[in-house]
Amino acid sequence: MSDAARKTVLLLTFARRGEEEAIRQAMAALREAAPDAVIVAVGTPVSGPVLEHLGVDELIIYGDGRGARSVVREARARRPAAAAVVYWGPGFAGHLKLELLALLSGPPRVLRLAPETPVRAVGRSRLALSVLAKVVTAIALTAAGALVCGTALVCLRLRQALAGGHRAPRA
């Protein structure tokens, strides 16, 4: 990152138990790429102390009455030079909320950080396609689940009707 654009790096992670090493590696990579950057992490009241212990400079808390809209507004107000999404493994599955926050916070650069892999810059359009694909997949899975449940209900009602209705003796 150039010195003029360094100002703030937004660190996005779930900070779940067991992810401390991934966050530690991400922090080291960010400090190497931009040694004088202010690293601002988005965390929950539970993950906040872990993130502070791992060396973030500032923390935006999500939860305890603060909704997503106010977190996005505060992240945008920081005018981050980059958003860094920490993935728990080498794949980039999941993390829909983090990727969406990376897009909505408005940084010109988005970085993907996974354990034991180099920092990867990803374009905003590529990240938007990833978010779109994950949303479409979630909708398709929800629709498939609703279809299976609806079919099961129809089969149950049909079986009940064939057995004499809801007053039929139970076996």
Q: What digits encode the pLDDT tens for the residues 84-130?
A: 888 776 565 667 888 888 999 889 888 888 777 778 888 888 889 98
Whether the Cβ atoms of residue 75 and residue 95 lie closer than 8 Å to each other? no
Contact residues for 75 (Cβ-Cβ < 8 A; gap 6+):
10, 40, 42, 60, 101, 104, 105
- Those residues whose C-beta lies under 8 Å from the C-beta of residue 144, and which sit 6 or more positions away, are none
Name the strand (E) or helix (H) holding 61: strand 58-61
**Does the predicted TM-score (pTM) go above 0.85?**
no
Is residue 9 a contact partner of residue 104, using CB atoms and an 8 Å limit? no
Q: What is the pLDDT of residue 13?
A: 85
For the chain, the first-to-last Cα distance in angstroms comes to 71
Residue ranges of the chain whose pLDDT lies below 70: 1-6, 89-94, 165-171
